[in-house]
Amino acid sequence: MSKYYITTPIYYVNDVPHIGHAYTTVAADVLARHYRRRGYDVFFLTGTDEHGAKIAEAAAKSGQTPKEYVDRIVERFKEAWKLLQISNDFFIRTSDPHHEAGVAAFLERLYTSGDIYKGVYEGLYCVGCEQFKTEEDLVNGVCPFHGIAPTWYSEENYFFRLSRYQDALLKALTEPSDPNHYVVNPPSRLNEVLGKVRLGLSDLSISRASLAWGVPLPFDPSQVAYVWIDALLNYVTAIGYPDDLSMFHRYWPADLHLMAKDILWFHAILWPAMLIANGLRPPREVYAHGFFTIGGQRMSKTLGNVIAPADLVARFGADAARYLLLTDFPFGTDGDFNLDNLVARYNAELANDLGNLVNRTISMVNRYCEGLVPASGPDLPPDAELKAMATAMFSQIDTALASLEFVSAADAVHAVVSRANRYVEEMAPWKLARIDRDRLASVLYNLVETERLIAVAIWAFMPTTSERILDQLGAPGQTAASWGQIAPGTRVSSQPKPLFPRIEIGADRTR
Best CA proximity match to 423, nearest among 449, 458, 405:
449
Cα gap 451→359, rounded to integer Å: 11
Nearer to Zn ion, 137 or 467 (CB): 137
Residue 91, interface with Zn ion (CB under 5 A)? no
- For the bound state, the minimum distance from the C-beta of residue 18 to Zn ion, rounded and expressed in Å, comes to 17
Nearer to Zn ion, 131 or 356 (CB): 131
Cα gap 490→203, rounded to integer Å: 67
Cα gap 100→276, rounded to integer Å: 21
- For the bound state, the minimum distance from the C-beta of residue 143 to Zn ion, rounded and expressed in Å, comes to 3
Number of residues that bind Zn ion (CB under 5 A): 6
Residue 455, interface with Zn ion (CB under 5 A)? no
Return the residue of 55, 126, 231, 233 that touches Zn ion, per CB under 5 A: 126
Residue 248, interface with Zn ion (CB under 5 A)? no
Q: What residues pair up with 150 in beta bridges, in sequence order? A: none
- For the bound state, the minimum distance from the C-beta of residue 149 to Zn ion, rounded and expressed in Å, comes to 10
Q: How distant, in Å, are the alpha carbons of 324, 435, 490 from that of 439?
A: 37, 9, 18
Task: Tell me the window of 27-35, 143-151, 293-301, 421-429 that interacts with Zn ion (CB under 5 A).
Answer: 143-151
Amino acid (1-letter code) at residue 480: A
Task: Tell me the window of 121-129, 209-217, 218-226, 254-262 that interacts with Zn ion (CB under 5 A).
Answer: 121-129
Cα gap 255→283, rounded to integer Å: 6
Residue 325, interface with Zn ion (CB under 5 A)? no
Residue 6, interface with Zn ion (CB under 5 A)? no
Residue 291, interface with Zn ion (CB under 5 A)? no
Nearer to Zn ion, 256 or 270 (CB): 270
Nearer to Zn ion, 142 or 372 (CB): 142
Residue 123, interface with Zn ion (CB under 5 A)? no
Nearer to Zn ion, 142 or 247 (CB): 142
Would you say the C-alpha torsion 115, 120, 122, 127 has a positive or negative sign?
Answer: positive
Residue 263, interface with Zn ion (CB under 5 A)? no
Residue 129, interface with Zn ion (CB under 5 A)? yes
Return the residue of 27, 31, 73, 143 that touches Zn ion, per CB under 5 A: 143
Cα gap 334→211, rounded to integer Å: 36
Nearer to Zn ion, 143 or 269 (CB): 143
Best CA proximity match to 162, nearest among 330, 274, 74, 240:
274
Residue 227, interface with Zn ion (CB under 5 A)? no
Residue 265, interface with Zn ion (CB under 5 A)? no
Residue 128, interface with Zn ion (CB under 5 A)? yes
CB 369 within 8 A of CB 444: yes
DSSP string, 463-485: HHHHHHHHHHTT-TT---SSS--
Q: What residues pair up with 335 in beta bridges, in sequence order? A: 292
- For the bound state, the minimum distance from the C-beta of residue 264 to Zn ion, rounded and expressed in Å, comes to 14
Contacts of 312 (CB under 8 A, 6+ apart): 19, 22, 321, 325
356-395: which residues touch Zn ion (CB under 5 A)?
none
- For the bound state, the minimum distance from the C-beta of residue 12 to Zn ion, rounded and expressed in Å, comes to 12
H or E segment to which residue 457 belongs: helix 437-458
| HSE-CB of 505 using CA atoms within 13 angstroms | 8
Residue 146, interface with Zn ion (CB under 5 A)? yes
Q: What residues pair up with 3 in beta bridges, in sequence order? A: 41
- List interacting residues with Zn ion (CB under 5 A): 126, 128-129, 143, 145-146
